[in-house]
Structure 1
C-alpha cells in the first residue's frame, strides 16, 4: 500500500490517514483531518517514528494540505500511538495541542519524573502483585543503574489547551463536543461531531471514538499509575460507565482510531458490556482459590499463551488483572485474603 492510498475521504470535511505503528499487531492509527474555517485540525497524530512521520506528511499532502497548514491537534488520549508526533507537528506548524487535564497530568509526570523513580515504583507494584523476582529484576537493575527511558513517547509534547468535557470545542465552522470517557486512560475523550451525517445515515452525527469503542477489539483497561497518589481507582468501572454514555448518544457512525469505521454504536456497546461481564464471571471461577494478581493474569485468557507473552506485555496484563480485581472487590464479588503477603484475592462467599 502506498502512502497516497492510506487516505480515506469520509465526507463532510473529514478525512483519515493510516499512520503505521512500528512492530505492533494493531498495524496503524487512524489520524483524522477535520476541516475548519481556521484551517485543518488533526484528531491524534500517530507514533513518533520516521516512517510514521513520513506517512502523516504524505497523507496530509494527499488530503490537499500540509503540516504547516495545521491549526491545531485534538488528542483523544496520551498513549504514544496517538500523541507521539504532537511535538513534531507543533514544531512544523505552530499548531495548538489540546488534551483532557487528567491525561495532561500524566504527560507532565512523565516529563518531570526521573526515570529511576518510575522504575522503583513499578518494581514495588509488581512485587506487591506477586510477580516473581526474575520479572522484577530488570526494573530493579534499571533503577539502580540510573538507566534512561527507552520506551517511545516518554518525552511527549505538553498540551497548551485543555479539552473540557461537555464543551463545544472552539473550531470555527464546526460543532464538535467533547465527551469524557475514562477507562483506557484517565483522561480519554471521544469527540462528537454534532452535524448531519454526509450520507444522511440515521443517528446523532459522528463520533471520533479514539480507543474507547473499536469495532473488533476490547481496549486495554489497566490501572491509572501515579506514584504520588494512593487513591484506589476503578478504571474498569469508569470504562463501563463511559461505554453506556456513548451507547445512549447513538451516533450515526463511529470513527475509531484503529481498524475501520462502523455504525450501530449501541450494538457494539452491548457487545463490550457483555464481554466484560462474561470475563468478570469467568475470573470468579479462577478465584475459587486465593490468587495474587500475577497468578490471576497467568490464568486469564489472552491472545496468546502466557509463555509467549513478552516482558512488557506481561506487566500490562498484570495491570489489567488488577483492574478487574478492583472491580470485583468494589461489587462485593471478590475480597482480599486478610494477612496475605503478597495480597491474594478470592471469590466472595
Structure 2
C-alpha cells in the first residue's frame, strides 16, 4: 500500500465529521511523527480518544489544537486510552489535572501501568538488561537499549472490560478488547455512526509492533492474540477506521484481513530461516537474520530491541503451533525446528 503519510508540520486539527475531530499531537524524535488524538463532542463536554506523548511541545499541540476547534481542554469530560504506550497515554494525566476528567483504560493495561509505576528507574533498567542478556544481546547492546525508557503514564481511575459502553452522553461508543499490541489494547466502536477508533490495532499502511516482553516468556502468545483480535474486528464489518497514526480510511475489515495475511507469511519465512540456520538460534540472532525496513546494522539500539521483541513474538507463536522448540535449560534461550 502506497503511504500517504505527511510530516507533522503539514498536519492540522481536522473535522472528521459526525461530531468527531482529530488533533495531531507530535511524538518528539519518533519516525511516526505524531499521534492522532480524537475529540468526540457531547453535551457534557468532549471525550478524548488517547492523549499523546507527555512532552511540552505535545501538550501545547493538544491544548491549542482543541482550542482551534472551539474546545477548551479544561472542559474535557474524559480520556479513553486505547493502550498504555506513552504516545497514547502520556498526556492523559495532564488533561486530568487541567479538567478533572476521568481516565479509562482496559483492566489488562491498567495492570501494566501499575507494574511500570512499581519500578524505580534503576530497577527497570536492571530488568531490561537481564531480559536482553537472556535473549543473546551483546553487552554493549544491552547497555544501549536499556538506557531508553519513558516515564510510565498516570494511573487510570476507570476500568474498562470488553463490551463496556463509554460514558459519552448521546452516543454509543463500545469497548472492543483487542489484545496483541498490548495485553489491554482496545478499539472503540462508534455504533451510532458505523465507525471504529482503532488505536494501533489496525493502521492503514503499517502494522503495529507485536512483541513478547520479557523476550523469553513461555506463558503468553501475543501474536496469536493479535491475529484473533484482527478476526474479531473484521467480523464487525465494513467500518470506517479512525486510527491513532497515519490517516482515516475505509473498510477496516479488509485491512485487518490484509494484516493477518502479512503475519502468517512472516511466520512461514521465519520457519524457513530457522531451517536454513541448521542450528538453534538465540532470539537476538534470529532478529538479526530477519528482514526489517533497513539492515540490522543500520537499526538504532532502541529499534534493535523492538525488533528482538517482534522476533520473540513470532518465535513464540511457532512454538505454540508445534513448528519449533526451545532448547531446554540453556541461557540464553535458543530455538530450532522440531526434528
* TM-score of the pair, normalised by structure 2: 0.92
- Compute the displacement of 1:139 (Å): 7.1
Q: Deviations over 1:279-331 (max 9, x none)?
A: 00000111012211100000111111111111122111111111111000000
Structure 2 counterpart of 1:131: 137
Q: Identify unmatched segments of 5+ residues in structure 2.
A: 1-6
Q: How many residue pairs end up in the alignment?
A: 330
- Compute the displacement of 1:55 (Å): 1.0
65, 73, 81: which one aligns with 2:87: 81
**Mapped pair 1:174 → 2:161:** no
Q: Deviations over 1:167-214 (max 9, x none)?
A: 112211110100000100111000000013xxxxxxxx1000000000
- Measure, in 2, the Cα distance between the counterparts of 1:103 and 1:127: 26
Q: 1:241 to 1:139 in 2, by over 3 A?
A: closer
Task: Write the mapping of 1:1-349 to structure 2, written as runs, cut at 5 A.
Answer: 6-137=12-143, 151-152=149-150, 154-196=151-193, 205-225=194-214, 232-288=219-275, 289=278, 290-338=280-328, 340-349=330-339
Q: Identify unmatched segments of 5+ residues in structure 1.
A: 143-149, 197-204
- Compute the displacement of 1:224 (Å): 4.3
Do 1:3 and 1:55's aligned partners in 2 also have CA atoms closer than 8 Å? no
Q: Deviations over 1:218-248 (max 9, x none)?
A: 1000114599xx7610000110000000000
- Compute the displacement of 1:63 (Å): 1.5
- Compute the displacement of 1:37 (Å): 2.3
Do 1:119 and 1:139's aligned partners in 2 also have CA atoms closer than 8 Å? no
- Measure, in 2, the Cα distance between the counterparts of 1:65 and 1:341: 55
- Compute the displacement of 1:3 (Å): 8.4
* TM-score of the pair, normalised by structure 1: 0.89
- Measure, in 1, the Cα distance between the counterparts of 2:338 and 2:184: 32
- Compute the displacement of 1:62 (Å): 1.5
Q: 1:69 to 1:308 in 2, by over 3 A?
A: same
Do 1:224 and 1:233's aligned partners in 2 also have CA atoms closer than 8 Å? no
Structure 1 counterpart of 2:4: none
Do 2:162 and 2:175's aligned partners in 1 also have CA atoms closer than 8 Å? yes
Q: 1:151 to 1:247 in 2, by over 3 A?
A: same
Q: CA RMSD in A?
A: 2.1
Q: 1:161 to 1:231 in 2, by over 3 A?
A: farther
Do 1:29 and 1:258's aligned partners in 2 also have CA atoms closer than 8 Å? yes
Q: Deviations over 1:50-74 (max 9, x none)?
A: 2111111111012211101101100
- Compute the displacement of 1:348 (Å): 2.3
Q: Deviations over 1:225-277 (max 9, x none)?
A: 599xx761000011000000000011420000000011112211121111001
Stretch moving more, 121-130 or 336-345: 336-345
